[in-house]
Amino acid sequence: MQVKVNEQNYTVDTNESVGSVRDRIKADADLLIVNGFPAQAETLLNNGDQVVLIRRGEIPGADELDALLTARHTPGVHEVVKQSTIGIAGVGGLGSAIAIALARTGIGHLIIADFDVVEPSNLNRQQYFIDQIGLPKVYALRDTLARINPHVRVTACHLRLTPANIDEVFGHALILAEAFDLAEQKVMLIETFAARFPDRPIVTGSGMAGYGPANTVQSQQVASNLYICGDGSTAAAPGTGLMAPRVGVAAHHQANAILRLLLGENPVSEKE
Amino acid sequence: MEIIFNGKPRELQQSINIQEFLDQLQLDCLQIVVEHNRNIISRQRLTDTILSHGDTLEVIHFVGGG
């Protein structure tokens, strides 16, 4: 009969125990999971069971993680995303969440750029930890991404992005995520990148402050290579602060738009 | 002549460049991205791009927060 062990198909004997399968496939595993629940070694397997064999504390190798993502994301998808390079300009509330979503998706190479350091006030929405206060955000984020998937290559640029360095920093990025805070900086980045790389998509965020309905945050295409995620109007202002839920919604709109672009799909609708 | 500005027809009395058009509308150029015929145009080129009949012009406002 057929079972899945760590996302791979295996033929096992009828009524073979999970402990016997463990001994054959991963003898040092000390945690056995069958169909989502911890199991004893003597538990008998049934056709179609999903088995996960874990050695606690062991970090899976690049090949093993690759196989897991291939199985989860279907082979065609994983092949595309793992060969992709994505740029993220600014790693505050939007950029840090975009980077984490893309790293979990298995993007091969992320270029992250920001001049800022982690401040206590950032922790209300940005993907940093209290023990990272004072660190440059790009280095703190690189550490976090390595804890999620050490096989994602991260180029961390601790610098202020200007019209003079944007083309160099993001020269290898197929798609650029704009994740700045100030409107003027968003405009500067979009103009500079679009002028230098007119054929490469930019996915930008505008309007995600406050706690208005999440459903007003949308993805829109506004030019041949420019996509905007947000409600388009709610600026960060006194009384309308930036908060984790809505900033997260906008960031994940951006991450999903990027994934759809990589896979040749229209980011804003099912049909072209 | 007529252009399409933010999706709607708009009559222009004379031939003007994009910067002059934006000035008439008193738009703050620092917070907008301008698209001319679906392509993003940088601010340095706003003055040397003359609007022609049938052109489309889109102005996208950006707001702060991220």
Q: Is residue B14 part of a domain?
A: yes
Superfamily of domain A2-58: Beta-grasp domain (3.10.20.30)
A109-118 core/surface letters (b: 16 or more CB in 10 A; e: else): bbbbbbebbb
Q: How many domains does chain B have?
A: 1
Q: Are strands B32-36 and A31-34 parallel, antiparallel or unpaired?
A: unpaired
Tell me: pLDDT of A170 over 80. yes
CB A38 within 8 A of CB A32: yes
The average confidence (pLDDT) of chain B is 93
A112 chain-B contacts, CB cut-off 8 A:
none
Residue of B nearest to A248 (CA): B66
CATH code for position B57? 3.10.20.30
Q: What residues of chain A lie within 8 A of the CB of B62, using their CB?
A: 183, 186-187, 204, 206
Print the domain residue range for B7.
Answer: 2-61
Per CB-CB distance under 8 Å, the chain A contacts of B61 are 206, 232-233
Domain assignments of chain A as residue spans, ordered by start? 2-58, 75-262
> What pLDDT, in 10s, does the model give residues A124-161?
999 999 999 999 999 999 999 999 999 999 999 999 99
For residue A221, list its beta bridge partners.
Answer: A227
* Distance from the B1 Cα atom to the nearest Cα atom in chain A, whole angstroms: 23
Banded pLDDT at A69 (limits 50, 70, 90): confident
Q: Which two tokens stand for residue A64?
A: 């093993």
Q: Where are the alpha helices (DSSP H) in chain A?
A: 18-25, 62-73, 75-82, 93-105, 137-148, 166-169, 183-196, 244-262
In a domain, B66, yes or no: no
Write the DSSP assignment of A161-186 as a string of letters.
Answer: --TTTHHHHTTT-SEEEE--SSHHHH
Of B38, B42, B62, nearest to A186 by CB-CB distance is B62
Per-residue model confidence as pLDDT tens digits over A224-249: 999 999 999 999 999 899 999 999 99
- ipTM here: 0.92
**Alpha-carbon torsion (A252, A258, A260, A262), positive or negative:** negative
At residue A272, the pLDDT reads 56
| 3.40.50.2000, 3.40.50.620, 3.90.1530.10, 3.40.50.720: CATH of A75-262 | 3.40.50.720
Tell me the nearest-neighbour CA distance from B29 into chain A, angstroms.
9
CB A226 within 8 A of CB B33: yes
Question: B interface mutation test: which of A206, A229, A231 has the most B CBs within 10 A?
Answer: A206
CB A145 within 8 A of CB A156: no
